């Protein structure tokens, strides 16, 4: 388990929207809104009124940031083009952005969708290709001047024999792409890509070894919520994986996660608070 007293200084704070994220003080919670009809977890939202209600409930439940995506990234998902993705996204993004007072990030790997989203009020980017899926994305991100979550995506890559070595190499590639385009490294949050091309054994190894990302010097996001590796262990459909998700969130925090991306905000905020009290000594 990560010894936070000897793991070096926490990454410098990042301001997302109007909110300053002070890494190391507590674990932050990102609530998921899937503006898709084919979400793997069965929680797709296409009605703006329902999305606003969900976002408001998440904020009331303790979410620090809302993440909206309009294209499924589940295994073997059916890709859509930028216009179709934007037609879904803008219907949800605008109303949610106006309804909540926490930052809103956009989950996309398409530069044109990201550009439109930033113009529409998105405060950050969450790119599951780590800026490597669209050659224009680093430039668009640099021009927008907003923070980004960059994820290592193992799908389509050859396994090199060591999970965290592959993850670190992929994230360094993404960090370099950002820097070349003029994106300061201190705007980046790293995500090891739990559930993206690994399988249960390596997914769980990733959590056990999460602290090995600390030398990158960036805040760490962990996104395990309802994923198939959890279902593999507990033999439950996506909507019944709250307790399994809670285990991964608690242990992820113990091993160094700074931000967790979740569907079940109320429950995972509670998990995070108790884990912080144990791991960080965050008891008032």
Which member of 139, 261, 273, 284 is catalytic?
261
Lookup: tokens for 281: 């000594």
Query: Could you please report the per-residue DSSP string of 38-103?
Result: --TTS-----HHHHHHHHHHHHHTT-SEEEEESS--STT-----HHHHHHHHHHHHHHHHHH-SS-
**β pairing state of 65-69 and 104-107:** parallel
Long-range contact pairs involving 207-212 (C-beta distance under 8 Å, separation at least 24): 207/248, 207/251, 207/252, 207/255, 208/251, 208/255, 209/163, 209/164, 209/255, 210/2, 210/252, 210/255, 210/256, 210/257, 211/2, 211/7, 211/255, 211/256, 212/164, 212/168
Count of alpha carbons within 13 angstroms of residue 20, beta-carbon side: 4
Which member of 88, 115, 202, 227 is catalytic?
227
Q: What is the largest CA-CA distance in the chain?
A: 49
Q: Is 273 a catalytic residue?
A: no
By annotation, the residues acting in catalysis are 227, 261
């Amino acid at each position: 388990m990560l010894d936070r007293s000897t793991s070096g200084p926490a990454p410098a704070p990042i301001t997302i929207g109007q909110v300053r994220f002070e890494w190391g003080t507590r674990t932050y919670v990102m609530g998921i809104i899937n503006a898709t009809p084919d979400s793997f977890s069965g929680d797709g939202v296409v009605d703006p009124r329902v999305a606003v209600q969900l976002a408001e409930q998440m904020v009331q439940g303790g979410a620090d940031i809302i993440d909206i995506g309009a294209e499924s990234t589940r295994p073997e998902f059916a890709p859509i083009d930028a216009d179709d993705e934007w037609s879904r996204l803008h219907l949800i993004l605008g109303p949610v952005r106006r309804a909540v007072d926490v930052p809103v990030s956009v989950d996309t790997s398409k530069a044109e969708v990201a550009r439109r989203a930033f113009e529409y009020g998105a405060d950050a980017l969450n790119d599951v290709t780590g800026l490597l899926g669209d050659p224009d994305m680093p430039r668009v991100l640099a021009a927008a001047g907003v923070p980004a979550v960059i994820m290592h995506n193992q799908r389509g890559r050859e396994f090199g024999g060591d999970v965290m070595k592959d993850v670190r190499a992929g994230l360094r590639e993404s960090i370099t792409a950002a820097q070349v385009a003029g994106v300061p490294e201190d705007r980046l949050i790293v995500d090891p890509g739990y559930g993206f091309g690994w399988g249960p054994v390596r997914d769980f190894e990733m959590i056990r070894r999460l602290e090995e990302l600390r030398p990158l010097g960036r805040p760490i996001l962990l996104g395990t919520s309802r994923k198939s590796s959890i279902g593999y262990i507990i033999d439950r459909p996506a909507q019944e994986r709250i307790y399994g998700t809670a285990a991964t969130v608690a242990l992820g925090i113990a091993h160094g996660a700074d931000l967790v991306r979740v569907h079940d905000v109320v429950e995972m905020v509670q998990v995070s608070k108790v884990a912080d009290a144990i791991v960080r000594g965050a008891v008032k």
